[in-house]
Amino acid sequence: MANTHCAWSSVEDKHVTAALSGKIALVAGGTRGAGRGIALELGAAGATVYVTGRTTREKQSEYGRPETIEETAEMVTAAGGEGIAVRVDHTMPSEVEVLVERIRREQGRLDILVNDIWGGEHLTEWNKPVWEHSLDKGLHMLRLAIDTHLITAHFALALMVERPGGLLVELTDGTAEYNATHYRLCPYYDLVKTGAIRMAWAHAKDLAPHDATAVALTPGWMRSEMMLDIFNVREENWRDATSVQPHFIISETPRFTGRAVAAVAADPERVRWSGQSLSSGGLAKIYGFDDVDGSRPDCWRYMDEVMDAGKAADATGYR
């Protein structure tokens, strides 16, 4: 399979801004995928970004993927911010507590928390009802995608609310509107992705007295390192994958999601979004940012109106 992770080291088209200079961010689950794209774009906006995950240059997680937290942190620094890699297992409260105390000691503040911990791709058994799906895998998925988010929020938000104006971003898959009418083809997957949306709504209520904002954010069909490998393509020739899956034409890079997070974080009126379910494509229309190729994919509208409607793949008017 193609190894695509090193291509992200280029910052030629990094969407430079200093809007987040001096801000301290924690991207929990920043090893690869959306987490890496978000960390990089926060760095491009000038932030100091703590990048956590379980895969380091010394030790891989059970994913067996080559991407590491050190690589992500180096990309953040190369983009103009400061990247700090910290190995953390977010299922372990003691490790998260130590992480947050380190941020407090080194920075004295936390302005942005991105909860992107996931790790369930290898656990999901698609198109199986709960009585056929592996119970062990399903419960482990809940542990990875719900418990970790609550554990991280427990410790990190306590630091964030010490100053007004903080931002929490809960990463998910699918908007609230889309997920309300579409079964996500696995009971556990369906639960964790709708659960993240509800968590953002609930945290928004608790954060409101502290002038802090919480949102749920979904990428579209993302060209993560893992997805590119599945189609045996690289970012440079990703369109070749449409010969296998024509609807991949609507896909977007992880940095598109990163630009969405950076835009919300830099918005002095971001509290208007608090408690809401947002998408990278939807925010691009409002804030005016593009993906790295200059396009502006609107994946979830495409999914509903084209792919799920059984129409032929055609991204005209959707990117």
- pLDDT tens digits for 160-198? 999 999 999 999 999 999 999 999 999 999 999 999 999
Contact 43/263 with Cβ under 8 angstroms? no
Once rounded to an integer, what is the mean pLDDT over residues 210-222?
97
Residue 90 lies in a domain: yes
Question: For residues 169 and 27, what is the distance between their CA atoms, to the nearest angstrom?
Answer: 9
pLDDT(237) > 60: yes
- pLDDT of 14 above 80: no
For the segment 264-296, what is each residue's pLDDT rounded down to a tens digit?
999 999 999 999 999 999 999 999 999 999 999
Is residue 61 over pLDDT 90?
no
At residue 281's C-alpha, the angle toward residues 267 and 305, to 5°, is 150
**pLDDT, mean of residues 45-69:** 89
CB 51 within 8 Å of CB 87: no
Average pLDDT over residues 248-260: 97
* Cα–Cα distance, 183 to 187 (Å, whole number): 8
β-strand 213-218 against 167-171: which pairing, if any?
parallel
DSSP the chain: ----GGGGG--TT-----TTTT-EEEEET-SSHHHHHHHHHHHHTT-EEEEEES--SS---TT--S--HHHHHHHHHHHTSEEEEEE--TT-HHHHHHHHHHHHHHHS---EEEE-----TTT--TT--TTTS-HHHHHHHHIIIIIHHHHHHHHHHHHHTTSTT-EEEEE-SS-HHHHHHS--SSHHHHHHHHHHHHHHHHHHHHHGGGT-EEEEEE-SSB--HHHHHHTT--GGGGGGGGGT-GGGGG-B-HHHHHHHHHHHHH-TTGGGGTT-EEEHHHHHHHH----TTS----HHHHIIIIITTTPPP--TTT-
Q: Is residue 284 part of a domain?
A: yes
pTM: 0.93
Q: Answer whether residue 198 is part of any domain.
A: yes
Residue 63: the pLDDT is 77
What is the chain's mean pLDDT, rounded? 93
Convert the pLDDT of each residue in 73-107 to its tens digit. 999 999 999 999 999 999 999 999 999 999 999 99
Per the structure, how many domains does the chain have? 1
Strand partners, 155: none
- pLDDT for residue 11 is more than 60: no
18 or 151: which carries more pLDDT confidence? Answer: 151
Asked whether the predicted pLDDT for residue 138 surpasses 50, the reply is: yes
In a domain, 288, yes or no: yes
Q: CATH number for the domain including 96?
A: 3.40.50.720
Is position 105 within any domain?
yes
Is 308 a member of any domain? no
Q: Which residues pair with 114 in a beta bridge?
A: 27, 169
Residue reference for tokens 């940012």: 289
Q: Which domain holds residue 280?
A: 15-233+254-299
The answer to whether position 45 is within a domain reads yes
The CA distances from residue 281 to 93, 114, 133, 220, 263, in Å, are 34, 18, 32, 7, 12
Residue 310 lies in a domain: no
Range of weakest confidence among 21-30, 57-66, 83-92, 171-180: 57-66
